[in-house]
Structure 1
Amino acid sequence: MKKILALPLMFFSFSSFSEGVTSTDVQPYPEYLAAYVKTLVTAGCEQALKGGSEDALIKQATKGMKKDTPSYYAVYNSVVEGVGAGTALKAKGRLITKDKIAIDSCGGVAAYISMQKDFMKIVVDEMTTSEQSQAGAVKPKAASSDESVYRTKAKDLAELYKANEVAADDKIGGRKVEVTGTVQDITKNFANDVVLKLESGNRFMPVSLSMSDSEKAQASKLKKGQKITVTCEKMQFFIGAPSGGDCTFN
């Protein structure tokens, strides 16, 4: 509990310092920020193991921060990574990463994530980036659907859920969801499942689609920037973005 309570205090020292000066004037030490990211990941993981609320933890960690800014999403995504790992750890007891490393503790999760140079670079860079204005909201376009499948585009799906999660679920009505979009990333989660991320208009909150095991071979051939269509058996709004499950390529 002590770790979680310390989060807003830790970030306050950084945010108070950076608010008075733009990032071009002062760059906080990357080593400090990397250690802070590990703390966020660990806290998120431990929160999930205890069955606590990730929303409450995110609220604590981002207290005083302006939403829809790079630094906000950097903190947000660090916590989310930890929560996702902790949830998988709680369910399976042990995680085997894509490079065959066994992880059985939140400390191990944080250590592993800190070794992922691409992720760490993005997060640390965003923590030292000055606030930027976000593009105005875009109204979702009408989706073409039939009785059994709800058809839409990734960006439209993200806008639909962002506007009103309840209305979005009601509109989809439990149907399969066919999503067309541009590949932002092809990765794996801590359970070693293939996760396809499609551009949503906000690179910090892509549409995440968990692929069926049968789709691994085709997923290995995908390239970032490629336009594809995927159909998911289920869709929900999870930690700020649409998340599909049991998905297959069309």
Structure 2
Amino acid sequence: MPKVIADIDEVLTTTRSVRRKLDFDRPVEPEVIEECLALAQQATMGSNQEDWRFVAVTDAAQKAAIGEIYRDTWLQTVEIPLRDRRPATVARLDPGERGGDAARARQQRILDSVKYLVDNIERVPVLVFACSAKPVPRTVLGDAASGYYGSIIPITWSFQLALRSRGLGSVMATAVVFHAERLSEILALPEGTHPITMVPVAYTKTLDFKRAPRRPLNEILRWERWGSDAA
């Protein structure tokens, strides 16, 4: 079994979205996936209902079918919209839209990293799908939307933290649910259960992950109301 990183601050500040540094050649033991998911089950949940479901995929044929979906998702949501200069996608993803050379270079690295995973997704030892059995909310905001995502996202992130603490890397690949119905068929999900994100899992080629650059707190935090200055 892999050595556990016990320092919670280190785990919280060094759990990155890992793609290029995933080790495709080292098998991932089923018991490690199960142990990390059992830890993640302690995450907060809406209405005290465990409406989450997980499917871990290791079969080559299954992964090949998922790879086709993932590549088509990249084509439809990234490659074609950027090529056609669709404003919303350009503003969100185009490195040229970022301010400053460092920000543009960082965004280009991210795009290249995502494309690397798209091209190699079948090589990832385990593809874990986090799914929700809650009724799909009628609106994006309000209604049941917060509870819908407020259960499945915390357990997924806790799962990723547990993986990191054991020397494994992962990424929350939400774009793949662009083809949610096709995914549901491949995964044979029960009626009313929907995939929310894919989490590719592998040991990492290095354990040397560092803090990522983030905005200063005074840009994202206000006390009492947004109009007041940050303390």
TM-score of the alignment, normalized to the shorter chain, above 0.5: no
TM-score, normalised relative to structure 2 = 0.27
| RCO higher in structure (CA 8 A, sep ≥6) | 2
Higher normalized helix content (fraction of residues): 2
